[in-house]
Each structure stands twice: as C-alpha cells, then as structure tokens.
Amino acid sequence: MILNAVEAGEGPVLVLLHGLFGQARNFGVLQRRLAAGGRRVVALDMPNHGASPHAAAMDYRLMADAVAKTLAAMGIPRAAVMGHSMGGKAAMMLALTRPELVARLLVADIAPVSYPSRWVPLVEAMRGVPPGMPRAEVDAALASAEPDAGVRAFILTNRKPDASGWRIGLEEISATLPAIMGWEAPDNATFDGPTLVVAGEHSRYIRTENRPTFRALFPHARFLTLKGASHWLHADQPDAFAAVVEGFAPV
C-alpha cells in the first residue's frame, strides 16, 4: 500500500505519522514551521485515514510496511521519523523491523504496550450516525460516548464535506481496533539509533513503569515530559513541541 503524503520544504527528511482518527493535515502548523527551518517534512495519512487507501487489516507490522513502501516510492532511503499515538507505535515498529530506514526516532505520548480499548463506544456511536445528519446533531449523537467536546471536534474532521458519511475506513477500524490498541514487538528486535520519548505532563499514556520496556527495545531512549500538555502534544503546546522536534531532528 502506498500512503497519501503531504510534503513541504527541502533538506533532511522528517516523516510525521499521526494517531487514530487523525490525518496528515493535523500537523499543518508544525509541518510548516519545521519545513521553514530547512527540512523536507513528509506527513503521511495512515491506512484507513485521510486520503490513503482503506485496508481490512491494520496491525502495526502492516502499517510499518505501508510507510516503508511509501518512502521507497518517494525515493527516500532514510529519514528521521516522528509518530504520535497510533503513529508512534507504527514508527516504533518501522524502527524495529526496518532500522535501516530510520535515522532517528521520536515517539510522542505512546508506549510499546497494549492499552484498554476506550474507543469502542465512540466507534459504535460513529457507526450509528446516518448519512446526511447535520454536524450539530452528529456532535450530540457522539456526546454520550465521548463527553470531551475537543475530542468530538477532532473526530468530526473525519466527516465528508457533503455529510454523506465518514471519509475514514470506519468499518475497517472497528474490525481491527484490538490490534490498534494492542502491541506485539518483533522477536529479538532492537533499534540502536537515537530515540526520544516525549510524554505529555497531563497524559497517562506513558508511565514510569514503561521505561524498562522502552529501553529493552530502544537501548538509547531518552525521556522528556512536555509541561502543560495532555496527550495532544502538538495541539496543547505547539511551540514547545515544535522546539523539541527541531532539536531532535537538526538540519
């Protein structure tokens, strides 16, 4: 599978991988800043998201393979890679299975562990939204499954402009949600390149007890906590997060 790519700038390549229900354009502000600093910044739509193809299977090996094939198709032999949430797990899997492609790795607020599937009620609510329902009514229909208005607004960016349905592969995501929330590291694999793990101060996705797991897979991992940020690092603290990425992926 070749993924949809949004590019900006010239210079050393930095690849950005978004999280569940996201898309490449979520990184627009970050991408423009990083590109202005002298980088070729490539943001990818993950499978079943944005303008990328839909696929029945969506585990992390397949996601990493899709990223690898896309980079090959773009003539990119090696790149710094930043992944947030689901994209962070895909980035870790890419580094573990195809380390020659990853010059350095930044993992944004996710750990190489399995998580409870908190998204099941929301996905079911999304599946129940009929075509043509106005945006305000869709928002109200999702409220019981997701009380956070900010998260709902983020989810609603996945509605088609004509309100005819969802542009993401919702049925495929629903069927493969256990794999998305899970994690299975490749046997005996490690990534020996520079690795930075960035956690949000107010997020619970990365815990202190996850550090030995990180270090077993990424021996050179360093850890940083972004003050004032929740799970949505690039949205909560855009300048601070951009500065972290700039420092870790120099031109």
**Digit-coded pLDDT (tens) for 109-124:** 999 999 998 899 999 9
Find, among 93, 98, 96, 68, the residue nearest to 189 by Cα.
Answer: 96
Q: How many Å apart are CA 4 and CA 237, to the nearest integer?
A: 26
Specify whether 171 is catalytic: yes
Write the CB contacts of 101 (distance below 8 Å, at least 6 apart in sequence). Answer: 68, 71, 77, 78, 79, 94
Q: Which residues pair with 80 in a beta bridge?
A: 14, 104
**Digit-coded pLDDT (tens) for 26-67:** 999 999 999 999 999 999 999 999 999 999 988 999 999 999
177: exposed, middle or buried (Cβ count in 10 Å: 0-12, 13-18, 19+): middle
**Digit-coded pLDDT (tens) for 148-199:** 999 999 999 999 989 899 999 999 999 999 999 999 999 999 999 999 999 9
Specify whether 230 is catalytic: no
Q: How many Å apart are CA 122 and CA 153, to the nearest integer?
A: 13
Q: Which residues pair with 199 in a beta bridge?
A: 225
All domains of the chain in start order, with CATH? 5-112+183-248 (3.40.50.1820), 120-176 (no CATH)
Specify whether 231 is catalytic: yes
| pTM value surpassing 0.75 | yes
Please pick, among 7, 54, 171, 220, the residue that the annotation labels catalytic.
171
Please pick, among 85, 146, 203, 234, the residue that the annotation labels catalytic.
85
Please pick, among 18, 49, 84, 231, the residue that the annotation labels catalytic.
231
What share of the chain has pLDDT > 90, as a percent?
96
